[in-house]
Amino acid sequence: METLIVTLTISSVVTFLALIVGFVVGWVARQHSYDTTPQTVYAHPEMFDENGNLSPDEILAVRFEQHDNTEDDEEND
């Protein structure tokens, strides 16, 4: 019985430490990937001016919201 307790304790500690090490290694790898990968801007060709620069003054953003009008339809019937 004593060896079972020792085995469970050691395996629990090793598992916890492995999770922490995996988290830290993953975090560092992600940060390294973000730092070394060039950041590119994906945009439509019509968003650029004659010189190839983004022209934010002429960009229009439109968002369509879809409302659920089923309650209004039921009240009108």
- Total number of domains in the chain: 1
- Between the alpha carbon of residue 35 and those of residues 5, 38, 63, 70, the distances in Å are 45, 8, 32, 49
Q: For each of the chain's 77 residues, which pLDDT tens digit applies?
A: 899 999 999 999 999 999 999 999 999 999 999 989 887 767 777 778 888 887 777 667 788 888 776 665 556 65
Count of alpha carbons within 13 angstroms of residue 3, beta-carbon side? 0
**pTM for this predicted structure:** 0.48
Query: CA 70 to CA 30: how far, in whole Å?
Result: 45
Domain that holds residue 40: 2-76
